[in-house]
Chain A
Amino acid sequence: MALSNFDRRRVNGPEDSFAPVYAPQNDQNERDPFQRRKRGPLDVRPIFLQPGLITQANGSAYIETEHTKIACAVYGPRQSKNVSYSESGHLNVEVKFAPFSCRRRRAPLRDAEDRTIAIAVHQAIVSSVRLELLPKSTIDVFVTVIEADGIEGVIASASIAVSTALADAGIEIFGLVVSCSASLIGGGIWLDPSEDEVSCSEGTIIVSCIPALGTVTSVWQGGQIPPKSVVDAMEKCQSRCTDIHKIVAQALRGYSSHNPT
């Protein structure tokens, strides 16, 4: 394949190319592995949330937590096409990574990990949407990850963005879903871990809940965590979710007061 259009008259690049390997820049692990830099163990990264950036969508939201940047658009509810009659509505979540969103380029149209994230977001959101009110219809949710810093952060932020966009679209929900991730590092619990922190953690957990109702919609745990620490981490995530809920509510209120419909 390579030989057929090999041009001897040009300077050809090497056959393989690799992403550069960066030297670790005074990594936190060198000084004190269990001391977090920049923020406390229970602090989450600052959240910027803006509903309604995508005007053609019924509802949309953009979320940014330091290096995680996600845009989300909601279309619908609209008629399900080519599907047999269903009594309750259908929530369709699709996640796409921009090719430049990660450290290594993500080739477009290879969606193995995308589907895993879409499933996690769907699981977090679906219990909050009143799909029984929308027979024969579909709600399409498109999530675009513009920049990613750890899969856990992406799932948590995407869930918040999707819930905000659903509220922005005026779709009936039981309550806003917010989610928070945590990781177990050296026996301590760090909330909202970044990609580097996840890579040196023993296990991670993502909790999605509806703070208004005090219910948990999804728990997603991996790694190796003793059951006691899991419960502890879930409690810490849930109390942090109450704070995040305020941010989401404020963002929605600020937006709707500027754009009365």
Chain B
Amino acid sequence: MSTVLLSKAEKSYITAGLKQNPPQRADGRHLTDFRLISLETGIADLANGSSRISIGRNVNDNGGGTEIFAATKLEVESISVAETSEGREGGRLAINVSCSPAAYPHLTQITLEDYQHDLTAILHATLSHSSLHPNNLSIIPGKKSWLLHLDLLILSDAGNIHDALFLAARAALWDTKVPKTRSVEYKAPKSNITGSGANEASDMDVDTAATSGFSTRTHLTHATDFELPDYWDEGEVLNGRDRWPVCVTLNLVPPIHFLDATPQEEAAVPRRLLLMFSFPPSSSSHEPTLQAMRTLGTGELSLAQIKDLIQIGQKHALDLYTALNVKLKDEDVRRTLKAQERFASARR
């Protein structure tokens, strides 16, 4: 969905520039250069995890660029056998993309909804696949689990929306903290069952803390409910958060391809290949895996070309993944430092 309309002459001017040797792009970038990406996590206080990303924002006036907010919110969901209830053992993910009408002023409401739906479909299919499912979303086995909502809001679109969405999603999921829970079960106190002394006790309003029927020990056989232990820290991170994929969009002008297209370039180049790669943690010996691949737009490709593009895409994705990981760890450190300073100043 291009955000700009271009004449034929403009389109051919852009593609001719790209095909030149050396290639020419309007902003002077190399074919495989990204624009400046800025990322911040923990921007929404009420969310369990959040991030804000902008690609290609103007450094001087902070204007322009693709801008996306992403936030996760956890909800408790009951699991039941009924097929109508969507709760599932081990929790589930629900992902939604919404576009601000301000980002697409020329689209009608109906086309905007279709576009949102298309973006939602691609993110949901990729991120909620069982191979990426975090295994700490369960609360009480067979009864309750967490439903993880990931909502992405596109505030403005200056090209390369798929890459930006996946970066934002990865950052928000990385940042997500699942609250710690403790199972609770109720047992009838033995003293209440027999003996007149116990009856007297129940008639009177006595503090029964010592013989409370509640048990919150870790290994419960018949957990009926759960409680949140009263801790300051927000919980534990999602399991396997290294695995969340990154997306690279290869814009294709055979024989060349380029990354991070601007809206003008997107309008001029109809063919795109989306590759979502997941990189397992460096310690394990597993290979990187493709989590999704989509072709977009018109035009044709041969199988040999796709084979090459997958290899090249993997290289670009690894670069992007490494850069993003460094930034995310940086953000973690920055935010812990901030918290420590706040506590230190409060103590003084």
A binding-site residues for B, Cβ under 8 Å:
16, 18-19, 104, 112, 115-116, 119, 123, 126-127, 202-203, 205, 209-210, 213-227, 230-231, 234-235, 238
Contacts and interface: CB of A to CB of B under 8 A. Distances in A.
Contacts of A224: 129, 131-132, 278, 289-291
Q: Is the interface of A mostly helix, strand, loop or mixed?
A: mixed
Given A217-B300, A221-B294, A231-B310, A226 B289 contact: yes
B295 interface: yes
A221 B292 contact: yes
Contact of A216 (B292, B300, B311): B300
17 contacts: A104-B83, A123-B295, A127-B300, A202-B131, A214-B302, A219-B306, A220-B294, A222-B292, A223-B129, A223-B131, A226-B288, A226-B290, A227-B287, A227-B314, A230-B310, A231-B307, A238-B303
Interface of B: 81-84, 114, 117-118, 121, 125-126, 129, 131-132, 273, 278, 287-296, 298-303, 306-307, 310-311, 314
A227 B310 contact: yes
A83 B118 CA distance: 22
Main secondary structure of the interface of B (DSSP, over half): mixed
A209 B117 CA distance: 26
A223 B125 CA distance: 8
Contacts of B294: 219-221
Contacts of A210: 300
B306 A227 contact: no
A119 B118 contact: yes
Contact of B117 (A115, A202, A205): A115
B82 A219 contact: no
Contacts of A235: 303
B293 A219 contact: yes
B126 A222 contact: yes
A227 B288 contact: yes
A203 B131 contact: yes
A109 to B, nearest CB: 15
Nearest to A124: B295
Q: Which 5 A-B pairs give the minimum distances between C-beta atoms? A: A224-B131, A215-B300, A221-B293, A116-B121, A224-B289
Nearest to A224: B131
A225 B292 CA distance: 9
Contacts of B81: 18
Given A216-B303, A222-B129, 19 more contacts: A112-B117, A202-B131, A203-B131, A216-B301, A216-B302, A217-B295, A219-B294, A219-B306, A221-B290, A222-B125, A222-B291, A223-B291, A224-B278, A225-B289, A227-B287, A227-B290, A231-B307, A231-B310, A238-B303
Nearest to B114: A115
B299 to A, nearest CB: 6
A242 B114 CA distance: 34
A127 B118 CA distance: 19
B132 to A, nearest CB: 7
A19 B314 CA distance: 44
Nearest to B85: A16
Nearest to A126: B298
A41 B189 CA distance: 61
A224 B263 CA distance: 31
Contact of B290 (A214, A215, A230, A238): A230
Contacts of B292: 221-223
Contacts of A19: 83
Nearest to A120: B294
B280 to A, nearest CB: 10
Contact of B302 (A116, A215, A222, A225): A215
A119 B114 CA distance: 10
